[in-house]
Structure 1
C-alpha cells in the first residue's frame, strides 16, 4: 500500500469504521424554503431509467466499480430495479436486481430498528426504559447518574466509545454469539447518555440483542419470521455464512488494483451482526422501502402499525432545532424544504445507501460491490437525483456580521470526532481524523476535513451558526458548562460531533513532537558510526574521559522506541489488521516501549554522572541529554494516545 493510501486509511478509519458512510450526507442540506406543490417530483419510468443509467454507467467507468444494484419505488410500486456491471468478474456473471445479493452494511440497522419498534408497539419494550432492565447476562455500570435508555441506543447517544477490535473474523468457526461478543467487548461510557451523538455499531448490536432477549428468538430467526417473511423478502438474511440456497447468488466483493478487479472472500461480522451483516437484493430492499413509505404496510401484510411507523419516521434527537437529527434509527436530511430519512452502509467491499422521501411516497436503494473506488457513487447519485427532481437556485450569499471578529478566536482550533476510541490503543487513530477550523481575511470560517474529504468556507448567519459559502451546508458551535466553545455540530454529519482538541492533542503538535523526538533518537547512530569510522581511518581517540556503557544503554532505549514506531505503522496501515482484532505481532511490539523504560532510567543516572564527572565534551553531553529527553517525551506522547502498555 502506498504511503498516501496508508495515511488516508488511518485518517478515515475512525470516521468510516466499516459500517457507516461519511460522505453520503452532504448532498441533502437546505432547510429554509418549504416545499410547494409545484415541487412535487414527476417520476416517469422511461426518463428515470435513462437518467439513472447515465449516472451509474458514468460512475462505473470513472470509479472502477465492478457492479451496482439499484431500485426505486414510488406510490407503493417498484418503478425501476436494475443491475449494472458484474457480480462475478471472473465468470462474467451480471448483476440482477431480483437475484444478486449485495451487503448493505449499516443499512441493515434499519431492519434492527424496525424489529425493535415491533416490540415497542407490542408493549414488550419501552423506549424510555434503562437497557439494564432487559439484561441478565451482563449489565452496564452506573458511570453517570442518567441510565442508558433504549431511545439512547436508537439515537446513537448512549455515550459509548467506539468498538473496533474483532469486528470481523476470517473463518466461520471463529464466529461467537451476539451475547458473548457484547459481554466481552463492552465499551466504556465516555459521555453522559442523551447528550452527545457518537455513532455506535455496538449500540445497534445491543438493540438486536434486546430483540433476542425479549422475544425469546434468535435475532436472525426473529427478523426472518417477522419482517422478511411478511414482506416476501426471500433473498435476504443476516446469517453468516450464507445459507446454501442463497450462496450461489451472492455478489463477489472487489477492490481495483493495478488495473484489475481483485476478488475477496465473503466478510464475516463477529457478534455485531445486527449492525451490518445483512445480505439482500435491490428488489427485496424495494419491498422494505414500500412498507415504510406506506407506514408499515406492504400489500396485505403489515409489519408496523401506522402510528408506530409514523413515530419511527419522526425526529427522536437533534443537537439543535436548526439542525437535522435522528429519526428513530433513520438519519434526517433536507433539501429545498423536502425532508428525507436515510441510512448509508459500508463494509470493506460494499457501499450502499437507502433514501426515503416520506412526503412523496418515494425512495431508492443503491449498492456497489467494490471497496476503495475512486468515485463515491452514492454521493453523486443523490446530488444528481435531488438536482433533477427537487432543484432550486442557491440563495444569495450573506455578508459576515460586523461583530464576527469578536467571536472568531473562540472557534479556531482542531476538533476531534466524538465517534472514537478513548481507552484503547485505537485512540491514536484520532490523531489523523481531526477537523481544522481557521478564519480567512474575509471574516469567514475555513473548515478543513480530514483525509481528503475536502475543505469549505462558511459565513456566520447567527451567532455561532454558519452557512456554507456556495452550498447548503450548516454548522453550529456549542459551549460547555464553563461557557467556552467546545463542540462543533455539522448538519451533514448528525451521527457524530466535533470536540475541541487540547493543545497536546492537536495533530500538528503531535506530528512535530514525534518527528523531532524521532530524529533525536535516531541521532544515537552517530556514536557507533563515529567509532567505526575512527577505527576504519585509524584516527587517534580524543583525550577525554569516556563512559561507553552510558551510550550503549541510551542507544538500546532509542532503538526500542524507533522499532516500535516503525512496526506499529507497518501493522496498522493494513486495515484488516485492525478489523480482525489484535494480532500476536501487535502484542509483541507493544512490549518494546515498556522495555525501553528501565534503559531510560539507567540512562538518566548515567546522564547525571556524565555532567557531574564531566565525561565527554560539553557538546557530547548536551547531545546525550537531548536524546534522553526525547525518549522521555516520546513515552509521554505514547501514553497520551494509549500506545504505552497493552491497552487492547
Structure 2
C-alpha cells in the first residue's frame, strides 16, 4: 500500500510539473474544421479579398480551402491553380537546405561562414566580427539594414547573387549574438553558403533536394519564376489588394522581382505550399535523410534574455497563443503568407493571401486553432517611451531612416498594467516578470520581453531599444534645421530677386552672394536628396560627394566672412551680410549631421 501511495504521489507531482500536451494542442476537431473556418471567414468577409487555408496533422493535410477572388475585377475565384507569393517564408527553404547539409556533416554551425565561401568572395567581405551559420539563422549576425534596391521591375537588371551580396553588404554594427535584427541579407548569404558547398545555384539545389522529393510541381523560387513555367504564366492571373478599414485598393498584378531571391521570391499554389509546410509535423519527413535532423531543427537556438523560452529555432520564429508555436510569415508588395505549427502535438496551419500586410488570417487563425493565451494583468515596470527597431541603419549615410521608420512610441494609460501605442490601437498588457503582450486587435499578438535592466525590449523578430533623450533632441533639431535651411534658401532667393529688380545685383557683394546661394542650394537640397536617392553604398561616390560638400561649404563660409568683413569696412550692407549668414545654415546642418551620423 505504501508503494502504491508513493507511486500515486510521484504521478501527481509529475503531472503538475509537466505541461499538459493535450491542453495546448489543436482545439478544433477535424469534423468541425470546415464549419469553424467558414464562420471565421464570414465574420470578416467584408475585409477579405482571397485567402487559401490549409491545416495539417502529423504530416498529412486534413483541410484545404479557398475563399474569395484572386482577381476581383474579373471575378476570378481563388482555386488550386491560384499562384500566391511566399514572401519571407521563402527563407525557410534556406534553413531547411542548411539543415540538410549540416545533417550530412558538411556544415558546422559554430564555424566562421567564410570557411565555406569561395576565397575570392570571402576576401571581399568586410565584416569585423566572426559570423557563424547559427548567427545567420538567429538573425544575430550584427548587420544593419541594407540600402540596396530590394525589388526590380525587370528581372534582367538583377545581378548574380554573389555580386549583389558584395555590392549590398551592410555594415556590421552589433557584436554577433548580442542583438536580434531581422535580416534579408543574412539569409541570402546563408543561401550562398549552400550554393558554394553544393557547387550549384541555390535554386537548382532547392528544386533537387526539396521541390522534387515532395513532388512540388507548381512552385518557383527564381526571381522571375522561370524555373517553373506554370508559376510564371499563372502568376499573371493573380492581382494584389489592400482592404483596410473600408478602404479597398487594387495594385493590379504587382509583379516585382526580388534581387536576393532566397529571402522572399518563392511563389506557388497552396497545394504545393502544404506539401512543404506539413513536413514539419511529419515524424517520417522527406526533408531530411536522418530522422533526428528535424527534431534537432525544432530545438531553440536563441532564447529571450532571462527567460527559459525559445525565440528562434534554426531559422523558425516562435509565437505564443494557446501554445508555443513555431513558424514563419512573409510579405511582398501584394501578398502575405504564413506557416505556424505546434511541434508537440504535430499540428499546424498554412495561409496564403493576395493582400498586403494581412494579419487577420496569417496570425489570427492561431487563436481559432490553438486558443487564446492566458492573459492576466500583472502590473510591472512601465515601458513607456520612444523605441527604435534595431533592424535599422545606424551607420554611414541614410542614418536618418532610424528616426522615421520602425519607431515604437509607447505611452501609459489610465489602467494599471496596460500601455498603448501613441498612434493606433495597439495595446501592451503587463503579464509580470518583465513580459508584455503586444496586441494589434486584428490577429497579430506576441510577447515582448524586457532585457534585464536595459532599456531594450526583445520582440517577435527584432529587438527594440529606447531612444536616449539626447538622441531624440538631436533628431528634432535635425528636422527643425532641415525646415529652417529650406526657408533660408527661399528667403535668399527672394532677396536676390529683389536686388535684381532694384538693379543692385551687379555689385561684387551681390554677385558673391549669388554664387554662395547656388552653393547653398546645392548643399542643402543636394545633400538630402542625393544621399536619400543612393541605393547602394559606393565608396567612390561617397568620397566624391563628401569632397564636393566640403568644397561648397568652405566657399559658403568664405563668402560670409567676406561679406561681414566688408560691412565692418563700411563697404557693404546688412542685407548682404544677413543673406550670407542665412546661407551658412546649410553648412551648419551638414556639420551637425556629419554626413548622416549624429555627433552623439
Give the structure 1 partner of residue 484 of structure 2: 516
Name the CA distance, whole Å, in 2 between partners of 1:445 and 1:636. 42
User: Is the CA contact 2:90–2:263 (under 8 Å) kept in the aligned structure 1?
Assistant: yes
Task: With a CA cutoff of 8 Å and minimum separation of 6, indicate the structure with the bigger relative contact order.
Answer: 1
Give the structure 2 partner of residue 335 of structure 1: 321
User: Is the CA contact 1:459–1:469 (under 8 Å) kept in the aligned structure 2?
Assistant: no
User: Is the CA contact 1:527–1:551 (under 8 Å) kept in the aligned structure 2?
Assistant: no
In the alignment, structure 1 segments of 5+ residues that lack a partner are 1-31, 480-484, 536-540, 644-648
Give the structure 1 partner of residue 594 of structure 2: 639
Residue by residue over 1:491-547, the C-alpha shift from the partner in whole angstroms, topping out at 9 and shown as x without a partner, is 3x2334436457246543432332233323332234135446768xxxxx9xxx993
Which of 407, 431, 436 in structure 2 is aligned with 1:467? 436
C-alpha change, 1:593 and 1:556, in structure 2 (3 Å) is same
1:208-607 residue pairs with structure 2 within 5 A? 208-242=191-225, 243-250=228-235, 251-255=237-241, 261-264=250-253, 266-270=255-259, 272-295=260-283, 297-298=284-285, 301=286, 303-322=288-307, 324-336=310-322, 338-371=323-356, 376-379=357-360, 382-386=363-367, 389-391=370-372, 394-395=375-376, 397-400=377-380, 414-433=386-405, 434-436=407-409, 448=421, 455-457=426-428, 459=430, 461-462=432-433, 465-468=434-437, 474-478=447-451, 487-491=455-459, 493-498=460-465, 500-501=467-468, 503-504=470-471, 507-531=475-499, 547-564=509-526, 596-607=552-563
C-alpha change, 1:357 and 1:40, in structure 2 (3 Å) is closer
Name the CA distance, whole Å, in 1 between partners of 2:564 and 2:573. 14
User: Is the CA contact 1:159–1:192 (under 8 Å) kept in the aligned structure 2?
Assistant: yes
Residue by residue over 1:348-382, the C-alpha shift from the partner in whole angstroms, topping out at 9 and shown as x without a partner, is 121111111112221111122233xxxx5324553
Residue by residue over 1:368-401, the C-alpha shift from the partner in whole angstroms, topping out at 9 and shown as x without a partner, is 2233xxxx53245533541564135531x3345x
Whether 1:117 aligns to 2:130 is no
Shift of 1:121: 0.5
Name the CA distance, whole Å, in 1 between partners of 2:349 and 2:387. 34
SS of corresponding position for 2:594:
helix
Which of 91, 98, 116 in structure 2 is aligned with 1:134? 116
Name the CA distance, whole Å, in 1 between partners of 2:469 and 2:454. 10
In the alignment, structure 2 segments of 5+ residues that lack a partner are 1-16
Which of 26, 32, 48 in structure 2 is aligned with 1:47? 32
User: Is the CA contact 2:328–2:339 (under 8 Å) kept in the aligned structure 1?
Assistant: yes
Shift of 1:113: 0.5
Residue by residue over 1:14-70, the C-alpha shift from the partner in whole angstroms, topping out at 9 and shown as x without a partner, is xxxxxxxxxxxxxxxxxx99556345434334532233334445555326x3x3322
Deviates more, 1:453-462 or 1:594-603: 453-462
Q: TM-score, normalised by structure 1?
A: 0.75
Whether 1:613 aligns to 2:569 is yes
Give the structure 1 partner of residue 8 of structure 2: none
User: Is the CA contact 1:564–1:589 (under 8 Å) kept in the aligned structure 2?
Assistant: no
Name the CA distance, whole Å, in 2 between partners of 1:382 and 1:364. 10
Give the structure 1 partner of residue 11 of structure 2: none
Give the structure 1 partner of residue 5 of structure 2: none
Shift of 1:194: 1.4
C-alpha change, 1:590 and 1:502, in structure 2 (3 Å) is farther
User: Is the CA contact 1:332–1:341 (under 8 Å) kept in the aligned structure 2?
Assistant: yes
User: Is the CA contact 1:332–1:340 (under 8 Å) kept in the aligned structure 2?
Assistant: yes
C-alpha change, 1:285 and 1:509, in structure 2 (3 Å) is same
1:149-160 residue pairs with structure 2 within 5 A? 149-160=132-143
C-alpha change, 1:47 and 1:436, in structure 2 (3 Å) is same
Q: Aligned residues, how many?
A: 563
C-alpha change, 1:414 and 1:384, in structure 2 (3 Å) is same
User: Is the CA contact 2:254–2:334 (under 8 Å) kept in the aligned structure 1?
Assistant: no
C-alpha change, 1:524 and 1:55, in structure 2 (3 Å) is farther
Whether 1:194 aligns to 2:177 is yes
Name the CA distance, whole Å, in 1 between partners of 2:365 and 2:221. 32
C-alpha change, 1:610 and 1:415, in structure 2 (3 Å) is farther
C-alpha change, 1:440 and 1:265, in structure 2 (3 Å) is closer
C-alpha change, 1:119 and 1:621, in structure 2 (3 Å) is same
User: Is the CA contact 1:199–1:496 (under 8 Å) kept in the aligned structure 2?
Assistant: no
Whether 1:206 aligns to 2:189 is yes
Give the structure 2 partner of residue 18 of structure 1: none
User: Is the CA contact 1:435–1:447 (under 8 Å) kept in the aligned structure 2?
Assistant: no
Shift of 1:232: 1.6
C-alpha change, 1:182 and 1:232, in structure 2 (3 Å) is same
C-alpha change, 1:399 and 1:38, in structure 2 (3 Å) is closer
Give the structure 2 partner of residue 3 of structure 1: none
Name the CA distance, whole Å, in 2 between partners of 1:35 and 1:636. 61
C-alpha change, 1:89 and 1:477, in structure 2 (3 Å) is closer
User: Is the CA contact 2:139–2:180 (under 8 Å) kept in the aligned structure 1?
Assistant: yes
C-alpha change, 1:330 and 1:259, in structure 2 (3 Å) is closer
Residue by residue over 1:312-334, the C-alpha shift from the partner in whole angstroms, topping out at 9 and shown as x without a partner, is 11110124142651110000111
